[in-house]
Amino acid sequence: MWGHVLEYGFVILKEGVEVEAISVEDMRAYEINAVGRGIPLLLLMENAGRSVADYIEYKLGDVKGKRIAIIAGKGGNAGDGFVAARHLAGRGARVEVHLAFSPLEVSHSDARVNLDVIMKMESIKIHKPFSRNWLEVSDSDVVVDALLGTGVRGSLRSPIREAIKEFNNAPGFKVSIDVPSGVDPDTGRAADGSARAEATVTMHKLKRGLLKAREYTGEIAIASIGLTSDVEFYAGPGDVAARVPHRPKDAHKGVGGRVLVVAGSKYYVGAALLTATAAARTGVDLVYLASTRSIAEAGAERSSTIIPTPYEGDILTKKDVERLEKVVERVHSIAIGPGLGRESETIEAFCHLINKALQANKPVVVDADGLYAIQECTVKLRENVVLTPHRGEASRLLGGRQDEPTIMAREIASKLGSTTLVKGPLDVACSPSGRCRMNRTGVPAMSVGGTGDVLTGVIAGILAKRNSILGNPDPLNSAITGAYIVGKAGELAYQKQGESLTAFDLLDILPSILRDPLNPA
């Protein structure tokens, strides 16, 4: 069970107990969501560093007169170490900070603030690189690894390698902040020469890789740094920043993701254009628009990213799906449903396409007429199929029953085996496992037609980018992140358009939210 150390604000992980573990992506999202709610990263760093000092005091009983060495890098992890140094010195410890880099190279702005503070303190001795007694830590009671945080992975380079070697050889009690330097916090893989701590103080929640690297972590203490459940449960700017990946530096065409949009018919024109354009606006490389010839060609005229893939006739039929099979294999996600119509031929084609997508293990977003057609298909859905009903459509999927959005989303997800996003003033997304997240962005004027089509395209774009770049579409977080982005776009559009807002107004705003989620233009 958990061993609570309430007076210090952290808990010690005990062996043989399953606990919730999160990814580095999760942690980054939560931190930026906190910033979006007005909690500065500087405050989170303060709480983290104080927690490290608290843990050391807890282990020693009293730090007064103890010699404590902190070996620091130049990022946020170093900032936690600088804060810990200040708190330990304030409690009477004899603190020395050994910098692996010149003070001018400390790149994290909040770490720089805390370094400037301790450099003015007479009670803390600062050792700059290659100065006298630099990395001399053999007489320290405690040595702290504040070199590399959760965002740094791969092989170790100088001077980090030399600094970790001195840490590992020190006879004193060895503590790593957040993760032992050199250990991948997601996988637990350790680079050659990684830090071998006797204790690791990790922030907010356990990182997944730490359980696989116990020979490096030692005892694990999980420290509370002031993040509330709100930053996890509700979507925010951190989800955009952390969960929508950027192309790698060596990107080539296709790496950014390819989307197939199957939408529109002779009866509905705008839905297909909105969905395809929205997908393109997420920054994918290509969007194949399967629709009537006139709609597909109109999409291509709107954006060079859109490749027209026309039906043979005026509606989607099984013959069209057979022609699309090679495209299905090529793309990283599929969006289907907006403006399809409900002809029997189209429903048959829809079911055939869903089967092909499932066989190819492609993430799929189903909306609008697709939600009607899905009830006619004899197919077991999967978690990587995202249904996006509004409350009326959700009710129909549940046989006409109305309930709270969370209950409806959870029940549809469980019943159909799909990720489900129930749209409304409060968007609720649930996975088949029962995990749910919510989104509160948006304005009432977004009830205008077409905003759901934009959402379908945005979610498909996020799924494609994640599937291509990361190999992990993460349907639940992709769905709720898409809802946040589109809702925020609606809020910004409303500031200019008011009640005259249309779905097309959202499209040009999407890039600014993706570029700078905390301060979109």
| Owner of token pair 């150390």 | 5
pLDDT of residue 17: 66
Report, as ranges of residue numbers, the positions in the chain whose pLDDT lies below 70.
1-8, 16-17
CB-based burial, 168-181: b 16+ in 10 Å, e otherwise: bebebbbbbbbbbb
The span from the CA of 266 to the CA of 273, in Å, is 13
459: tokens are 């979610």
The span from the CA of 91 to the CA of 104, in Å, is 28
pLDDT of residue 21: 93
The one-letter code for the residue type at 196 is: R
State pLDDT tens for residues 57-75: 999 999 999 999 999 999 9
User: What domains sit in the chain, N to C, each tagged with a CATH number?
Assistant: 3-233 (3.40.50.10260), 237-515 (3.40.1190.20)
pLDDT of residue 152: 75
Cβ atoms < 10 Å from Cβ of 41: 16
298, 491, 497, 286: which is closest to 510 by C-alpha? 491
The span from the CA of 464 to the CA of 328, in Å, is 12
Contacts of residue 432, Cβ cutoff 8 Å, sequence gap at least 6: 383, 413, 414, 417, 418, 419
The span from the CA of 117 to the CA of 198, in Å, is 29
